[in-house]
Amino acid sequence: MSLRLILAAMLAAIAAPALAEVPVPDYAQAQYWSTVDQLPQGVAASHALRGVDVFWIHPTTTRSQTDYNHDPLDPAVLKWTEESAVQRQGSAFSACCRVFAPRYRAATTKALADPANREKAFALAYSDVERAFDWYMAHENKGRPFIIAGHSQGGAHTTSLLEKRVKGTKLQRRMVAAYVIGINLMEGDLSPRLAGIPFCNTPAQTGCFVQWNAVLAGSDNAPMLKSYRDIFVAQNGGKDGGKPLCVNPVTFDTRRRLSLSAEAKGAVAGDPGFGPMGPVQTGAVAAECRDGLLTVWPAPSLGLKPLPGGSMHFHDVGLFWADISANAGLRARAWLKAHGSR
């Protein structure tokens, strides 16, 4: 989903505190890192493969009428962000990997709705993410292979890390993959912005990135696609960006755009919110990449609500929780096999 359209997705978010006295996060302090230790109901913890790390970046979680960035340690903001986003989404990577999830001064919905201040708010948020990534690399990574992943605003920051911290560096050789979920990267972003970091075409490919945006079958996607095209043109001197990039997160194979519900490994039931996650349901969603968007047919038993216009933005991860978990493990094993176990 584009940064402009994410605003519509914040219907369940909470109000942010004043930011005037919020300190710059010090990532040497444990309080600025989430511990991703919650799982959907009925899912047993599995740490069979922990030779790979995941740097996970959460999405926009805060609605505010006064502040452009939230205080990551404000108790109300922290509880909502942890339970509705960090645990629900980041836990998909916990079976394969150690998960490092920074608490950062994320841009709020006020920033998304204010073109004059949006860029500044996102720059502040990204500065935290970048410092957290640098601290993680300096103190925790110790030469291990890694995955970068994020959703929505977190997906935008993931892309910036790829562009500014990974592309063309020694780190690129150790990147297993990147999961850029719920934003609007276009075919035109492959070069020069992400030149040398290809889109993943097969499920076990490494050193590449994936992207998808889920929309409910039967939705009118023309306004969203037009917004994506217009944003790319405006940001790239009138150049056409082509179509949005999309892979089906059930197949993770660009040659297999369609998957039947029987193939789906497991979706988390229920809308994101406070409290424990719902159970995982297998065979509960069919999906197909169409025109660069991921059209989905979720089972009614999942109890998932679309956003106005049919976007399934809240469910970009939850719909494919077990599929993402399995794929991250597959790519991690493929990297370790090719480069030697650690």
Q: What is the layout of strands, in order, in the sheet containing 293-298? A: 214-216, 293-298, 285-290, 258-259
Confidence of residue 3 (pLDDT cuts 50, 70, 90): very low
The residue written with tokens 């025109």 in the block is: 291
pLDDT at 207 over 70: yes
3 state SS of 224: helix
- The total domain count for the chain is 1
The reported pLDDT for the residue numbered 66 is 87
81 lies in which domain range? Answer: 3-339
Indicate the pairing of strand 267-268 with strand 280-281: antiparallel
Mean per-residue pLDDT, 301-323: 97
CB atoms within 10 A of CB 191: 11
Q: Which of 6-20, 109-123, 158-172 is the least confident region?
A: 6-20
Rounded to 10°, the helix 115-136/153-161 angle is 60
Nearest Cα residue to 27 out of 139, 161, 123, 106: 139
Mean per-residue pLDDT, 171-180: 98
The reported pLDDT for the residue numbered 50 is 74
pLDDT at 4 over 80: no
The model's pTM is: 0.93
The per-residue pLDDT of the chain, averaged, comes to 92
pLDDT at 301 over 90: yes
3 state SS of 333: helix
Q: Are 247 and 200 contacting, i.e. CB atoms less than 8 angstroms apart?
A: yes
Backbone angles phi, psi at 234, to 5 degrees: -65, -35
CA 133 to chain centre: 15
Per-residue burial over 160-179, b if 16 or more Cβ lie within 10 Å, else e, is bbbbebbbeeebeebbbbbb
Mean per-residue pLDDT, 250-261: 99
- Cα separation, 112 vs 132, in Å, equals 23
Residues 6 or more apart from 265 whose CB is under 8 A from it? 250, 282, 320, 322, 323, 325, 326
Q: Which of 5-19, 165-179, 245-259, 299-313 is the least confident region?
A: 5-19
- Cα separation, 197 vs 172, in Å, equals 8
Taking only the tens place, the pLDDT of each residue in 40-93 is: 998 988 766 678 999 999 999 998 888 999 999 999 999 999 999 999 999 999
| CA neighbours closer than 13 Å in the CB half-sphere of residue 155 | 23
Q: Where are the beta strands (DSSP E) in 182-309?
A: 208-212, 214-216, 258-259, 267-268, 280-281, 285-290, 293-298
pLDDT at 277 over 60: yes
